[in-house]
Amino acid sequence: MITGGLGFIGSNLAIRLAELGADVTVVDVLWPEHGGNIFNIEPVKERVRINICDIRDKYAMDVLVQDKDYIFHLAGQCSHVLGQADPYPDIDINIHGTAVLLESAKIKAPDATIVFTSTRGVYGSVAKLPVDENAVTNPKGLYELSNLTAERIVNFYGYNHGLKVINLRLSNIYGERSQMIHDKFGVVNWFIRLAMEDKAIKVFGDGKILRDFLYVGDCVDALLKETLDLMGIGGSRFMKTQDERSVLPVANVPTPATPRPLEETERVAETVTQERTGRGGIR
């Protein structure tokens, strides 16, 4: 079962699992602007079960988790910008929703392996690179804080109730099926849209801030490997590449439609001393 299974990463995971012959159930509430779309699973739509419901619905979760061997929990409020403006979706969906799902799993699917996808943002600003699991967590926004809290809830159900669980912290995933309708999250795909429309790409600061960009296909590979290798009942892993890149080269990758040279990229003259929270740039 995949919560958030019609969204960006969830749909890519659903397609991969269906192609491998798995019996897949996708659960999604199709929350506006969060990328959920039935078209995302078009290649396998006849081979998966689709349930449009909310992870906060205890009765729905009680039914859906039954007899599941693996539960990938990807559903959640995933916009840092929205979390800064309105705290309640993060608290209600990311924290409360995770607790509802795990309580149902404890009772109805105690032998299932549960994988929760969190965010690299739980580390906040860091003193040294590369970041690893031993770095101190210091989330700077409510979205990141709610994910860290959800991680702790996941670990609680592992340590106290014996569920097989793991938290996987993701970092700047890009690729097919990512939403491109707004710039609140999914920055690489937003850059691609701007390039396709031959519009200027705004970069805050000098563009030298480092980010770890991970292709969604590699993310799915890592999700499956970590799930199959899971031996313990808790803990967090940071999924990343070994190749941090600055933002400016990403903003200047040419496309067939817009072979833009470096000097055509619009830069915003603003010194960045910490992670940005504004719209339209890099976080």
Catalytic residue, chosen from 70, 143, 157, 174, is: 143
Q: DSSP string covering 11-70, please?
A: HHHHHHHHHTT--EEEEE---TTTT--GGGGGGGTTTEEEEE--TT-HHHHHHHTTT-SE
* Strand, helix or coil for residue 134: coil
Catalytic (active site) residue 174: no
Q: Cβ contacts of residue 283 below 8 Å, gap of 6+?
A: 80, 185, 187, 275, 276, 277
CA dist 33 and 169 (Å) reads 22
Q: Is the dihedral of CA 126, 129, 135, 137 positive or negative?
A: positive
Question: Of 171, 207, 181, which is closest to residue 281 (Cα–Cα)?
Answer: 207
How far is it between the farthest Cα atoms of the chain? 59
Give the pairing of strands 236-238 and 164-170.
parallel
**Residues annotated as part of the active site:** 143
